[in-house]
A and B are shown apart, each in its own frame.
Chain A
């Protein structure tokens, strides 16, 4: 089944403890992206990757890192999480351009930083 898999689905952590949210897709998509969703703000892009070893910042990149060493994986790294990073995170992938191919979204990761 074609899908984007995020792990974990739920995570509670403490301020400052490094964490990684994994994202993997099995569709050979070139384009991958991370979004965060906050109440009243909708979804905002954190980082994106056009292909292997090509990553760049989205609208809200502060406090996050990503890597794209393989085409299928696009982990989101929080080196020192803070409470303002408590949010619902979505990973998404697209064959190439989002507009004409659309996104496949993961199921989301609900992160709480205390």
Chain B
């Protein structure tokens, strides 16, 4: 069965610090996709990234970067030089590839507070 674990429930950092949000997943499939979503205080879910299991290249998008390591089943998310606007709940999610119902299985989320 699929499972996503975000061990950090809450993290608090001071503005301009770097912060890494951890995500560990479990799946028996060899083909799957990993996602990160941001949920700001307004409540909507903002898509950040989707990664397939065959692409282990790290990705950088501005201040955001993602480290995908199949050997440790991890897909960690780093925010460099954090800002107050980064304060949100961040969800990691997994979806197995298939023709039937392949829902997103979410972790429980990590609440990030960036203090000015």
> Which residues of A pack against B, CB within 8 Å?
33, 40-45, 48, 50, 56, 58, 88, 90, 92, 97-100, 102-103, 105, 107-108, 110
Contact = CB atoms under 8 A, between A and B. Distances in A.
A48 B103 CA distance: 9
Interface of B: 4, 9, 31-33, 35, 43-45, 47, 50, 52, 91, 93, 95-104, 106-109
A88 B91 CA distance: 15
Given A40-B108, A42-B91, A108-B44, A99 B96 contact: yes
- Please report whether the interface of chain B is mostly helix, strand, loop or mixed according to DSSP: loop
A97 B106 contact: no
Nearest to A58: B103
Contacts of B99: 97
| Top 10 closest pairs, chain A to chain B, by CB | A99-B95, A42-B106, A42-B108, A99-B33, A43-B106, A105-B45, A99-B97, A45-B103, A98-B95, A107-B44
A58 B33 CA distance: 19
Contact of A103 (B43, B98, B104, B108): B104
